[in-house]
Amino acid sequence: MRIGVLGTGMVGRALAGKLRELGHDLVVGSRVAGDDAQPFAEAAAHGELIVNATNGAYALDALAQAGAENLRGKILVDVTNPLDFSKGFPPSLFVSNTDSLGEQIQKELPDTKVVKSFNTINCEVMVDAARAGGESDLFVSGNDPEAKATVSRFAREQFGWKNVVDLGDITTSRGTEAYLLLWIRLYGALKTGDFNIKIVKK
């Protein structure tokens, strides 16, 4: 599949590495092109599917550089979190509660099918569900049911995510982004980032 990965930080590199290994036709986009990376717009134009793995703080800037016309009609998998490290660790969120980064991105790109997902786990677990140490859940949020189904199938087939919970429209990103505030504390208590949550229900 032709995929554009936006971002060359830890998350972008983990995703690109795994997607290449799986044989996908990748262009990785970066603010500063060079080496393996092209400008954001090239990566966006290349992909049938685009993954937004930029730093949350610069995600809207990066997507503006990627260009709405290059993202039009496509699925954008948004794996970012609005983490604010300006006061050190633990971070807070720069948007939360009554809004979310997922919603802000969807608002900026009304003709793109934004699917918020993979933002509740670290990047090693993103690309290898088993690394969490057992069966656990992945979440999708977005306004387009077909796009969510595509991302869920992709997650299952490529990364081993058997359990994908469709939370609803893009406003449900508020839930998964806010969960980061718990994730951070769990990371502190468990002393590993290789974990996830599994929904248990009656």
Could you give the CA distance from residue 135 to residue 33 in angstroms, rounded to a whole number? 38
Dihedrals φ, ψ of 152, to 5°? -65, -45
Q: Contact region for a copy of itself (CB under 8 A) — 15-23, 52-60, 66-74, 186-194?
A: 186-194
Using CB under 8 A as the binding rule, whether residue 190 contacts a copy of itself is answered as yes
Identity of the amino acid at 66: A
Using CB under 8 A as the binding rule, whether residue 96 contacts a copy of itself is answered as yes
Using CB under 8 A as the binding rule, whether residue 73 contacts a copy of itself is answered as no
Using CB under 8 A as the binding rule, whether residue 67 contacts a copy of itself is answered as no
Could you give the CA distance from residue 36 to residue 32 in angstroms, rounded to a whole number? 11
Strand order, beta sheet including 137-142: 37-39, 25-30, 2-6, 49-52, 75-78, 113-117, 137-142, 163-168
Q: Contact region for a copy of itself (CB under 8 A) — 37-45, 58-66, 144-152, 193-201?
A: 193-201
State the helix-helix crossing angle for 145-159 and 10-21, rounded to 10 degrees. Answer: 70
Q: Contact region for a copy of itself (CB under 8 A) — 3-11, 16-24, 62-70, 184-192?
A: 184-192
Q: Token pair of 105, please?
A: 């991105």
Using CB under 8 A as the binding rule, whether residue 198 contacts a copy of itself is answered as yes
Using CB under 8 A as the binding rule, whether residue 23 contacts a copy of itself is answered as no
Q: Which of 98, 152, 157, 159 binds a copy of itself (CB under 8 A)?
A: 98
Site mask, a copy of itself, residues 128-167, x = CB under 8 A? ---xxxxxx----x-----------------------xxx
Residue given tokens 């569900």 in the structure block: 129
Asked if residues 119 and 10 have their Cβ atoms less than 8 Å apart, the reply is: no
Asked if residues 36 and 73 have their Cβ atoms less than 8 Å apart, the reply is: no
Using CB under 8 A as the binding rule, whether residue 97 contacts a copy of itself is answered as yes
- List residues near a copy of itself by CB under 8 A: 92-93, 96-98, 131-136, 141, 165-168, 172, 174-176, 178-179, 181-186, 188-190, 192, 194-202
